[in-house]
A and B are shown apart, each in its own frame.
Chain A
Amino acid sequence: MNILWLQSAGCGGCTMSLLCAEGPGVFDLLRDAGLRFLWHPALSEHSGGEVRDILHAVEQGNVPLDILCVEGSILTGPRGTGKFQMLSGTGRSMLDWVQSLAPLATHVVAVGTCATYGGITSAGGNPAGAIGLQYDGHQPGGALPATFRARSGLPVINVAGCPTHPDWVTETLLLIAAGEIDAASLDALGRPLFYAENLVHHACPKNEFYEYKASAEKPGQMGCMMEHLGCVGTQAAGDCNIRGWNGGSSCTRAGYACINCTAPEFEEPHHPFTQTPKFAGIPVGLPSDMPKAWFMALASLSKAATPQRLAKNAVADRIEVTPTIRESKK
Chain B
Amino acid sequence: MTARSLVVGPFNRVEGDLEIRLEVEDGRVAAAFANAPLFRGFETMMLGKAPMDALTITPRICGICSISQSAAAAAALGAAAGQPQAAQGALATAIMHGVENLCDHLTHFNLFFCADFARPAYGGRDWHDRAVARFTAMEGSAVRACVEARAQILHIVGLLGGKWPHTLAIQPGGVTRAPTMRDRIRMTSTLSSFRRYLEDTLFGAPVEAFAELESAAALTTWETGDAGLFMQIAADLDLGRMGYGPGRYLSFGAYPLAQGRAFAAGLWENAMTRPVDTAEIREDLSHAWMHGDTTHPADGQTFPDEDMQDPAYSWCKAPRLAGQTIETGAFARQVVDGHPAAIDLATSGTTVLARVAGRLLEVARTQLLLESWVAALKPEERFMAEVSLPADGAGEGLVEAARGALGHWIRIEGGKIAGYQIVAPTTWNFSPRDATGTPGPVEAALVGAPVLPGEDTPLSVQHIVRSFDPCMVCTVH
- Chain A interfacial positions (CB closer than 8 Å to B): 7, 9-17, 19-22, 24-28, 37, 39-52, 75, 77-79, 83-90, 120-121, 123-125, 127-128, 130, 162-163, 218-220, 244-257, 259, 261, 267, 272-275, 317-318
> Given contacts A20-B164, A124-B46, A317-B383, are A88 and B19 in contact (CB under 8 A)?
yes
B251 at the interface (CB under 8 A from A): no
Q: Which of B45, B62, B66, B167 interacts with A125 by CB under 8 Å?
A: B45
Partner of A120, one of B47, B57, B177: B57
Contact present for B13 and A42 (CB under 8 Å): yes
| Bitwise interface map of B from 48 to 61 toward A, beta carbon under 8 Å scored 1, else 0 | 11101101110011
Please give 15 more A-B residue pairs, beta carbons under 8 A apart, in addition to A11-B165, A254-B163, A256-B167: A11-B473, A13-B165, A21-B151, A25-B147, A27-B144, A49-B457, A77-B306, A86-B19, A123-B57, A244-B158, A249-B158, A251-B167, A254-B169, A274-B56, A317-B383
Interface members, chain B 164-182 (any A CB < 8 Å): 164-169, 171, 173-178, 180
Residues of B within 8 Å of A275, CB to CB, are 50
**What 1/0 flags go to B132-153 for Cβ under 8 Å of A?**
0000111100011001101110
List residues 275-299 of chain B with CB under 8 A from any CB of chain A. Answer: none
* A4 CA / B16 CA spacing, docked (Å): 16
- If over half of A's interface residues share one DSSP class (helix, strand or loop), that class is named, otherwise mixed; here it is loop
17 contacts between A and B (CB under 8 A): A7-B16, A11-B66, A11-B165, A12-B16, A16-B164, A20-B151, A27-B147, A40-B138, A41-B13, A45-B136, A90-B10, A124-B44, A124-B57, A162-B166, A245-B163, A248-B158, A251-B168
Question: A37 vs B137: C-alpha distance in the bound complex, in angstroms?
Answer: 11
Interface range on chain B: under 10, 10 to 19, 20 to 34, or 35 or more?
35 or more
Cα separation A127 to B474 with both chains bound (whole Å): 17
The distance from the CB of B123 to the nearest CB of chain A, in whole angstroms, is: 14
Interface string of B84-111 (1 = CB under 8 A from A): 0000000000000000000000010001
Residues of B within 8 A of A248 (CB): 155, 158
Binding site for A on B (CB under 8 A): 7-13, 15-19, 35, 37-41, 44-50, 52-53, 55-57, 60-64, 66, 107, 111-112, 115-116, 118-119, 136-139, 143-144, 147-148, 150-152, 154-155, 157-169, 171, 173-178, 180, 304, 306, 308, 315, 379, 382-384, 386, 456-457, 462, 473
> B39–A128 contact, CB under 8 A?
yes
Instruction: Select from chain B the residue with minimum beta-carbon distance to A41.
Output: B12
* A273 contacts across to B, CB distance below 8 A: 50, 52-53, 55-56, 168
Complex Cα distance A245/B47, Å?
32
Nearest-neighbor residue (CB-CB) of B135 within chain A = A45
A194 to B19, CA, bound (A): 39
- Which of B39, B45, B163 meets A249, CB within 8 Å? B163
For B304, list chain A residues within 8 Å (CB). 78, 84, 127
The 10 closest A-B pairs by CB, nearest first: A13-B63, A89-B9, A124-B45, A48-B457, A254-B162, A246-B158, A88-B9, A127-B41, A247-B155, A88-B19
Say whether, besides A45-B118, A84-B39, A25 and B60 are in contact (CB < 8 Å).
no
